[in-house]
């Protein structure tokens, strides 16, 4: 489905009077330009003057929270949730969120402009490769190599940096003498690619020159709790201390309990026509209820609607360009 209309704010450049509305951003390095606010900072830390966690309400012990997950390339932070909530999100719905296939596919579409982020998202992802007639499924390691896997016939597929160590350990387990192992390893090093070489003691090796691997994309899709959390935190930036109001109680509960089913009822997933190197958060105003849009890599759009809550604030948009590092805040003054 192609998203129309509501996406406009991410590109809109209109004359907004943000001088009053964005007081909360005041202590950030700002370069003002006609109609919008331009912020250039590697990390954009927003101030929070209250002492309670916006999720569980506990007092004190607040920690720095990345509003768009850092693992996605997010830089907007605010110290407004407690360490316990922060780590519970980190080990809960945010754990492995960057491996969501839709997110990685969108980043892959931008790999030329965002090579590092694309690589970072792929770490830990599962890949499949064909070895003769057998399929090997392996996870991409931090060092950029696919891990070790065992094929159905009992043979091992080992990445090159691990090969010597693996061979040595296999041969040691078989009680082969050190000098024989040394000879075998030399034979392995000299072995031509693509040929089977018998190293003795039942160890046969083959160096694979190339074995194209493709992601299996079998990891879970992105939890709706991720865009819901982002929208809730963005709402906190807009309403300040009112985020502690009872009206937000049910939203806080959904986040605290990490209730995916209830989050699902508030979040709709759409797609724009093509990826673009930005993440964005928009408060689109009240469409019966407060409506937000969260965008990842320009392409993935999540509409978040807060049940039974309207927010008395003009529409506002935050955009983070992933290619240039620029952050933009657009704030409509009054009616959109
Ligand atoms: Zn908390």
Q: Which pLDDT tens digit goes with each residue over 78-107?
A: 999 999 999 999 999 999 899 999 999 999
What pTM was estimated for this model as a whole?
Answer: 0.83
Helices (H), the chain: 18-21, 83-91, 101-108, 115-122, 160-173, 178-190, 225-239, 249-257, 260-266
Q: pLDDT band for position 336 (50/70/90)?
A: very low
Higher local confidence (pLDDT), 286 or 23: 286
Which residues keep their CB under 5 angstroms from ion ligand 1?
A: 53, 55-56, 82, 85
- What's the gap in Å between 141 CA and the centre of ligand 1? 33
Q: For residue 112, what are the CA distances in angstroms to 71, 216, 275?
A: 19, 21, 12
**Centre of ligand 1 from the C-alpha of residue 193, in Å:** 56
Banded model confidence at residue 332, pLDDT cuts 50, 70, 90: low
- Range from 24-38, 74-88, 243-257, 275-289 carrying the lowest mean pLDDT: 24-38
Q: Are the C-beta atoms of residues 257 and 225 closer than 8 Å to each other?
A: no
Expressed in angstroms and rounded, the spacing between residue 85 Cα and the centre of ligand 1 is 4
CA of 77 to the centre of ligand 1 (A): 16
Dihedral, CA of residue 129, residue 131, residue 136 and residue 141, to nearest 10 = -60
- How far, in Å, is the centroid of ligand 1 from the Cα of 91? 14
Going from the Cα of 82 to the center of ligand 1, the distance in angstroms, rounded, reads: 4
Rounded to the nearest angstrom, the distance between the alpha carbon of 121 and the centre of ligand 1 is 27
> Stretch 261-287: mean pLDDT, rounded?
91
Query: What distance in angstroms lies between residue 241's CA and the mean position of ligand 1's atoms?
Result: 15
pLDDT for 33 equals 40
Strand duo 196-200 + 76-82: pairing:
unpaired
Q: How far is the CA of 94 from the centre of ligand 1 (A)?
A: 15
Give the distance (Å) from ligand 1 centre to CA of residue 67. Answer: 15
Position with higher pLDDT, 58 vs 25: 58
How many whole angstroms from 55 Cα to the centroid of ligand 1?
Answer: 5
Reading the block at residue 102, the tokens are 């839709």
* CA 183 to ligand 1 center in whole angstroms: 60
Q: What per-residue confidence (pLDDT) applies to 327?
A: 77
Average pLDDT value for residue range 109-118? 95
Per-residue pLDDT band at 324 (split at 50, 70, 90): confident
Ligand 1 centre distance from Cα of residue 52 (Å): 8
Does residue 145 contact residue 160 with C-beta atoms inside 8 Å? Answer: yes
Query: In angstroms, what is the span from residue 233 Cα to ligand 1's centroid?
Result: 13
Over 60: is that where the pLDDT of 129 sits?
yes
The predicted pLDDT at position 42 comes to 52
Q: Picking from 27-36, 202-211, 214-223, 285-294, which range would have the lowest pLDDT averaged per residue?
A: 27-36
More confident residue, 328 or 290: 290
How many angstroms does the Cα of residue 327 sit away from the middle of ligand 1?
A: 27
199 Cα: distance to centroid of ligand 1 (angstroms): 59
Higher pLDDT, residue 41 or 60: 60
Determine the distance separating the centroid of ligand 1 and the alpha carbon of 227, expressed in angstroms.
18
Higher pLDDT, 243 or 150: 243
263 pLDDT above the threshold of 70: yes
Mean pLDDT of the chain: 83
Write the burial class of residue 55 (CB in 10 Å: 0-12 exposed, 13-18 middle, 19+ buried).
buried
CA distance 101 to 109: 12
Q: What CA–CA distance (Å, rounded) separates 143 from 38?
A: 36
């Amino acid at each position: 489905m192609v998203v129309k209309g509501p996406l406009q704010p991410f590109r809109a450049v209109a004359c907004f009077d943000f001088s009053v509305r964005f007081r909360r951003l005041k202590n950030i390095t700002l370069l003002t330009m006609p109609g919008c606010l331009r912020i250039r900072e590697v990390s954009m830390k927003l101030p929070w003057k209250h002492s309670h966690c916006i999720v569980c309400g506990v007092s004190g012990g607040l920690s720095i929270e990345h509003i768009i997950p850092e693992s996605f390339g997010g830089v907007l932070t605010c110290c407004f949730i407690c360490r316990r909530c922060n780590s519970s999100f980190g080990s809960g719905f945010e754990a492995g969120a960057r491996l969501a296939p839709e997110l990685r596919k969108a980043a892959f579409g931008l790999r030329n402009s965002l090579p590092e982020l694309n690589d970072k998202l792929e770490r830990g992802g599962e890949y499949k490769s064909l070895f003769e007639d057998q399929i090997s499924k392996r996870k991409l390691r931090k060092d950029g190599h696919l891990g070790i896997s065992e094929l159905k016939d009992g043979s091992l597929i080992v990445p090159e940096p691990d090969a010597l160590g693996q061979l040595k350990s296999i041969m040691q387990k078989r009680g082969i003498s050190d000098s024989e192992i040394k000879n075998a390893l030399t034979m392995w090093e000299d072995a031509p690619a693509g040929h089977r070489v018998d190293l003795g003691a039942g160890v046969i090796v083959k160096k694979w020159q190339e074995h194209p691997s493709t992601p299996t994309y079998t990891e879970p899709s992105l939890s709706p709790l991720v865009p819901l959390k982002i929208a809730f935190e963005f709402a906190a930036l807009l309403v300040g201390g009112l985020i502690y109001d009872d009206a937000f109680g049910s939203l806080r509960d959904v986040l605290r309990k990490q209730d995916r089913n209830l989050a699902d009822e508030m979040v709709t997933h759409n797609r724009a026509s093509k990826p673009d190197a930005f993440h964005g958060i928009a408060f689109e105003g009240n469409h019966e209820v407060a409506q937000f849009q969260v965008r990842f890599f320009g392409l993935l759009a999540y509409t978040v609607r807060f049940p039974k809550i309207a927010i008395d604030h003009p529409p506002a948009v935050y955009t983070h360009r992933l290619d240039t590092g620029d952050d933009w805040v657009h704030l409509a003054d009054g009616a959109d």
